A and B are shown apart, each in its own frame.
Chain A
Amino acid sequence: MSEVLVQRPTVRGGVGESVPRPDAVPKVTGRFDFLGDLHAEGMVWGATRRAWLPRARLVRVDVTPALTMRGVHAALTQDDVPGHRYQGQKVTDQPVLAEGEVRTWGEPVAVVAADDPETARRAADAIIVELDELEPLTDLDEALARGSVFRHVRVRRGDPDARGEVVVEDTYTTATQDPAALGTEAGLAVPDGLGGLDLWGPTQWTHVDRTQLAACLGLSPEQVRVQPCRLGGAFGSREDLSLQTHLGMLALRLGRPVKMVYDRTESFVGHVKRHGARMRYRHEADRAGRLVRVEAQLLLDGGPYELTSSAVVANSSYFALGPYRCQRVEVDGYALRTNNPPSGAMRGFGANQPCFAAEAQMDRLAEALGLDPLELRLRNAIGPGDHLATTGQLIEHPLPTAEVIRSVAAIPLPDALAPADDDPRRLPGGTGLTTPRDRVVRGVGYAVGLKNLQFSEGFDDYAEARVELTAEGARVHTAAIEVGQGMVTIIAQVVRSTLGVSQVEVAFDHTGRIGSAGSTSASRQTQMAGNAALEAATVVRTQALERLGGDHLDDAGVWRGEQLLAPLAELVADGPIEHHVRYRHRPTQQPDADGQGALHVDFCVAAHRAVVDVDPDLGLVRVVEIAIAQDVGRALNPQQLHGQIEGGIAQGMGHAIMEEVVLDAGVIRNASFTDYLLPTCLDAPEVEAVLVEQPSPWGPFGAKGMAELPTMSATPAVVAAVRAATGRALTRAPVRPEDVVGDLR
């Protein structure tokens, strides 16, 4: 045992620092291998033949013309699925390839593999597909009337006779939003020669993919190794399978690696979207501005397959009125089965749509009461000790609703448009030179969002991690998926601060190496994978200290008092110290028949203030600035928090004024980035963010998941600002120029 006197080093890159992402430089210099860059020796290329009608009887599929083409190796249909022919995360109702009936525009009918992508595409086109058109079901009220319902969530709470004197009611619509991840779906399946395979595909939860893939491919779960992937964005759209089963089928059939990459148009039909919604609301308040009664009917467009819709509609229903107290609540949320494109998870997971409607209702109510809209919200704001108005759950942990409202209101407003300021980029219409300065009207609007964290309704929600300490430092193993949000940085920071060791690396393991980490969604992984890593690191530290009877561990090694007992290399001379943890958050309950219970483990809030400049004559909107006060628990990495806030705001404001999947009887009319408009850097507003830190009692170092909130209430805040500027009701998101202009013949 060496006895050297050295200065104790302090850990570098621990929690609280804005540690840069390990993949930042490779990504911006083009050296990061995304899914679409994967390559395997001897691989062939897959392509998908899709249906061109939203609903049809599938009369005939003949793959012979494809098979007779040179360079084509396989052409498979639903008859060729080796195992279970249907997939789905919760209910397996989605055919791997169409069977009997086509239920959505662009549904996959057959897949081919060929020597190169072009041949594969031509071969897919050559397949004979005969469809007999059927009437598609695309209207939400009609779907409800026909009982085409995946799930009805019924919430009843409080005194049924409670009535308020001041009433506002309306119907609100949010269009379908596309997650529009920059990386399209891509993947690679490599047979292992033993009947199984390795699969790289777009995913947010490898283990749930494995379950579905093994069933469909007729393999045991051990034979399917779902690899951690290198995603170019997710936002929820990678929670459901896209091309994985097809890749697996082709690779198993051919015994050789198969790669597939969707182009942008195919991507639009290849992933799930944010549910379009129609929402009917009635708010009643007393003269003092206390919410007395809220009734809401929420219709969510699920598309033809259940996927995550049954969980999404639960969120919509439980967060139907936002972070407010109310005496009587009646919510009926319906996830509806239609022939529109399949919907699923997207940042906010069902809480966004009602947030748009309910926050508009709060503004209306404030106006009817002659109250300041923020004052009305403050009078009803929930916090610890209150019960959630919908489910009745007691709020036990910090929930700074009033604080985020006050904090966002305290941020100074941006300057008025200066008279001399005629840089067109600052005016509505931008470089199009549409709008003289004197035609611009400014508006300010607020919105507050509330959402759950982690999985709810009794789900057994856990994450595994293993930490090993070697002479080189620590390594954290996890199956959690880094989708670009920065979990890779956070986990390392948590482990550094826990162990006291600066050299920490995160290793993303495939499904055969470690158990599930759960999904990278529901604002989960900072708290779930983070806590698993924290607990494992805590045990590793204890074991390291116990090995030598030390009382302190850091980069130098193990210490007792001022004395260094052994450097790391010596400590682990007999082998690494490791520990594996399966972390669970406290259990949640299932709802009773009235939707009551402690259904959620925790909540998060944020408040947005949007400032917009509007050209009322042309209906053009420029979002000048969005201020946000965001509940974060504790800021583990301030820069990443700001990154999530700015990105989330761009996505939320995008849905407020431009992002919409334009549907025409089930057909997407704008399946390209030419016409599905995303905000450019000239559209993205200035962002002023305040982090409200009230440590979570159970998150790692007090942290909370937070990355969905910046999107959620950005949409209603922007639309509220446009209402303030124009006086128009604007009950639909996104707001289109013609909605702003109004009264067009």
Chain B
Amino acid sequence: MHIERPEGLDEALAALAADPHATLLAGGTDLMVEVNLTHRRPASVVALRRVPELREWDERMIGAGVSWARMESGPVTGLAQLARTVGSPQIRAVGTLGGNLGTASPAGDALPWLAALDAEVVLASDRGRRRLAWDEFLLGPKRTARQPGELIVGVQLPEALPPHQAFAKVGVRQAMVIATVNCCVVRDADGATRVALGAVGPTVRRARRAEALVSGTVRPSAAVLDRFEALVREEIAPIDDHRASAAYRRHAAGVLARRTLERCWS
């Protein structure tokens, strides 16, 4: 197996240009599991840990190499909340935002936040950069629009971050558990609300009818919230698997979305 250890972004992009199908390695918390399970046997690897540009985090952009530990103590509320739920302290010390996007698991915890924020994913190759809306980037379970030779540079945030952001995740353990359902709700100052849910479909979903129902209303009534819950349940497509039944996921998604919405003004 061939391993490249670039020490800067240009070097990394050059390495990828030379070997467009090389496997990218960030924290390895997804990749190494797959290698151990023999689901993947990379022939060549480009290791990204030494690329300082990927660890940058400014107003508009969070680098792909930023760890959960940094997100957890960072200034972005929704992101900090979701980062706290990821794995264990060891996983959070090395796992990255870019890795979560790279894997694009239907249960990935960063994805509802990305979707609720209408954030964009920034990709780069030696031929330049492109920005994809989250729903252009996420194509299906573990499928993204990343092309060979490209890497994820980071997440581009909207001009103003919503003042209200809340994240919640259902799992059968107090911590370190893969989401049965996860949910992020953000609300702008004018009441515009966006609701995204994960693990309830092939990829993260926005509940747009539910959003429309509560956007603008200052403080929805109980009846409106009931309707909101019902709409959320209609807008998702959960499946039965070994973690939960589709019926439970549908039910829990409604409860979770409503509670997460309520946190936006509490």
Question: At the interface with chain A, which of B5-13, B170-178, B189-197?
Answer: B170-178
Question: At the interface with chain A, which of B16-24, B47-55, B56-64, B242-250?
Answer: B242-250
| A617 contacts B37, C-beta separation under 8 Å | no
A154 contacts partner chain B, Cβ-Cβ < 8 Å = no
B207 contacts partner chain A, Cβ-Cβ < 8 Å = no
| A432 contacts B170, C-beta separation under 8 Å | yes
Complex Cα distance, B65 from A150, in Å, reads 57
| B37 contacts A434, C-beta separation under 8 Å | no
| B168 contacts A680, C-beta separation under 8 Å | no
Complex Cα distance, B244 from A382, in Å, reads 42
| B174 contacts A683, C-beta separation under 8 Å | yes
Q: Which residues of A contact B262 (CB under 8 A)?
A: 436
Q: Which residues of A contact B84 (CB under 8 A)?
A: 431
A432/B37 contact (C-beta < 8 A), A618-B256, A680-B176 known: no
A657 contacts partner chain B, Cβ-Cβ < 8 Å = yes
Residues 172-211 of B contacting A (Cβ, < 8 Å) = 172-180, 182
Q: Which residues of B contact A263 (CB under 8 A)?
A: 36
A677 contacts partner chain B, Cβ-Cβ < 8 Å = yes
B255 contacts partner chain A, Cβ-Cβ < 8 Å = yes
Q: Which residues of B contact A265 (CB under 8 A)?
A: 37
Complex Cα distance, B173 from A669, in Å, reads 18
| A430 contacts B37, C-beta separation under 8 Å | no
| A680 contacts B256, C-beta separation under 8 Å | no
| B170 contacts A429, C-beta separation under 8 Å | yes
**Shortest Cβ gap from B28 to chain A (Å):** 15
| A745 contacts B256, C-beta separation under 8 Å | no
| A433 contacts B175, C-beta separation under 8 Å | no
| A433 contacts B177, C-beta separation under 8 Å | no
| B247 contacts A738, C-beta separation under 8 Å | yes
Q: Which residues of A contact B168 (CB under 8 A)?
A: 429, 432-434
Complex Cα distance, B85 from A121, in Å, reads 35
| A431 contacts B85, C-beta separation under 8 Å | yes
One digit per residue, 1 when the CB lies within 8 angstroms of any chain A CB and 0 when it does not, for chain B 137-181 equals 000000000000000000000000000001111111111111110
One digit per residue, 1 when the CB lies within 8 angstroms of any chain B CB and 0 when it does not, for chain A 125-137 equals 1000000000000
One digit per residue, 1 when the CB lies within 8 angstroms of any chain B CB and 0 when it does not, for chain A 330-367 equals 00000000000000000000000000000000000000
Q: B244 touches which one: A434, A664, A683, A738 (CB < 8 A)?
A: A738
Q: Which residues of B contact A664 (CB under 8 A)?
A: 242
Residues 221-246 of B contacting A (Cβ, < 8 Å) = 241-245
Q: B174 touches which one: A436, A682, A744 (CB < 8 A)?
A: A682
Q: Which residues of A contact B178 (CB under 8 A)?
A: 674-675
A683/B173 contact (C-beta < 8 A), A263-B36, A433-B168, A617-B255 known: yes
Q: Which residues of A contact B166 (CB under 8 A)?
A: 433
Q: Which residues of B contact A146 (CB under 8 A)?
A: none
Q: Which residues of B contact A618 (CB under 8 A)?
A: 170, 252, 255-256
Nearest residue (CB) in A for B182 is: A432
| A682 contacts B169, C-beta separation under 8 Å | no
**Shortest Cβ gap from B130 to chain A (Å):** 33
B38 contacts partner chain A, Cβ-Cβ < 8 Å = yes
| A680 contacts B251, C-beta separation under 8 Å | no
| B247 contacts A745, C-beta separation under 8 Å | yes
Q: Which residues of A contact B256 (CB under 8 A)?
A: 434, 618
One digit per residue, 1 when the CB lies within 8 angstroms of any chain B CB and 0 when it does not, for chain A 413-452 equals 0000000000001000111111110000000000000000
| A677 contacts B174, C-beta separation under 8 Å | no
A619 contacts partner chain B, Cβ-Cβ < 8 Å = yes
One digit per residue, 1 when the CB lies within 8 angstroms of any chain B CB and 0 when it does not, for chain A 631-660 equals 000000000000000000000000001100
B131 contacts partner chain A, Cβ-Cβ < 8 Å = no
| B248 contacts A431, C-beta separation under 8 Å | no
**Shortest Cβ gap from B103 to chain A (Å):** 13
Q: Which residues of B contact A434 (CB under 8 A)?
A: 168-170, 256, 259
| B247 contacts A431, C-beta separation under 8 Å | no
Nearest residue (CB) in B for A676 is: B242
| B248 contacts A737, C-beta separation under 8 Å | yes
One digit per residue, 1 when the CB lies within 8 angstroms of any chain A CB and 0 when it does not, for chain B 70-98 equals 00000000000100110010000000000
| A677 contacts B173, C-beta separation under 8 Å | yes
A425/B175 contact (C-beta < 8 A), A434-B168, A434-B169 known: yes
Complex Cα distance, B208 from A605, in Å, reads 57
One digit per residue, 1 when the CB lies within 8 angstroms of any chain B CB and 0 when it does not, for chain A 728-745 equals 000000001110010011
A171 contacts partner chain B, Cβ-Cβ < 8 Å = no
Count of residues in A whose CB is under 8 Å from the partner chain: 37
A430/B173 contact (C-beta < 8 A), A121-B38, A436-B259, A675-B178 known: yes
Q: Which residues of B contact A617 (CB under 8 A)?
A: 255
| A675 contacts B243, C-beta separation under 8 Å | yes
A168 contacts partner chain B, Cβ-Cβ < 8 Å = no
A285 contacts partner chain B, Cβ-Cβ < 8 Å = no
| A737 contacts B170, C-beta separation under 8 Å | yes
Q: Which residues of A contact B182 (CB under 8 A)?
A: 432
| B247 contacts A662, C-beta separation under 8 Å | no
A610 contacts partner chain B, Cβ-Cβ < 8 Å = no
Nearest residue (CB) in B for A439 is: B259
**Shortest Cβ gap from A97 to chain B (Å):** 21
| A669 contacts B169, C-beta separation under 8 Å | no
Complex Cα distance, B259 from A662, in Å, reads 30
| A744 contacts B245, C-beta separation under 8 Å | yes
A49 contacts partner chain B, Cβ-Cβ < 8 Å = no
Complex Cα distance, B38 from A125, in Å, reads 11
Which residue, of B36, B243, B250, has the highest number of chain A Cβ atoms within 10 A? B243
Nearest residue (CB) in B for A739 is: B248
Nearest residue (CB) in B for A429 is: B170
Q: Which residues of B contact A741 (CB under 8 A)?
A: 248, 251-252
A620 contacts partner chain B, Cβ-Cβ < 8 Å = yes
| A677 contacts B172, C-beta separation under 8 Å | yes
Complex Cα distance, B245 from A618, in Å, reads 13
| B167 contacts A433, C-beta separation under 8 Å | yes
Q: Which residues of B contact A677 (CB under 8 A)?
A: 172-173, 177
Nearest residue (CB) in B for A684 is: B174
A622 contacts partner chain B, Cβ-Cβ < 8 Å = yes
Q: Which residues of A contact B245 (CB under 8 A)?
A: 738, 744
| A680 contacts B170, C-beta separation under 8 Å | no
Q: A430 touches which one: B38, B88, B175, B242 (CB < 8 A)?
A: B175
| B251 contacts A744, C-beta separation under 8 Å | yes
Q: A425 touches which one: B38, B171, B174 (CB < 8 A)?
A: B174
Complex Cα distance, B242 from A744, in Å, reads 17
Q: Which residues of A contact B252 (CB under 8 A)?
A: 618-619, 737, 741
Residues 606-621 of A contacting B (Cβ, < 8 Å) = 617-620
**Shortest Cβ gap from B239 to chain A (Å):** 13
Residues 93-150 of B contacting A (Cβ, < 8 Å) = none
**Shortest Cβ gap from A480 to chain B (Å):** 35
One digit per residue, 1 when the CB lies within 8 angstroms of any chain A CB and 0 when it does not, for chain B 249-265 equals 01110011001001100
| B167 contacts A622, C-beta separation under 8 Å | no
Q: Which residues of B contact A680 (CB under 8 A)?
A: 88, 173-176
A679 contacts partner chain B, Cβ-Cβ < 8 Å = yes
A670 contacts partner chain B, Cβ-Cβ < 8 Å = yes
Complex Cα distance, B88 from A683, in Å, reads 13
A selection of 14 A-B contacts at a CB cut-off of 8 Å is A432-B177, A433-B166, A433-B168, A433-B169, A433-B263, A434-B170, A436-B262, A618-B252, A657-B172, A675-B242, A677-B177, A682-B174, A736-B244, A737-B244
Closest 3 CB pairs of A and B: A430-B174, A669-B242, A682-B174
Q: Could you list 12 further interchain pairs (A-B, Cβ under 8 angstroms) beyond the known A432-B179, A741-B248?
A: A425-B174, A431-B174, A433-B85, A617-B255, A618-B255, A677-B172, A680-B88, A682-B174, A737-B180, A738-B244, A738-B247, A744-B247
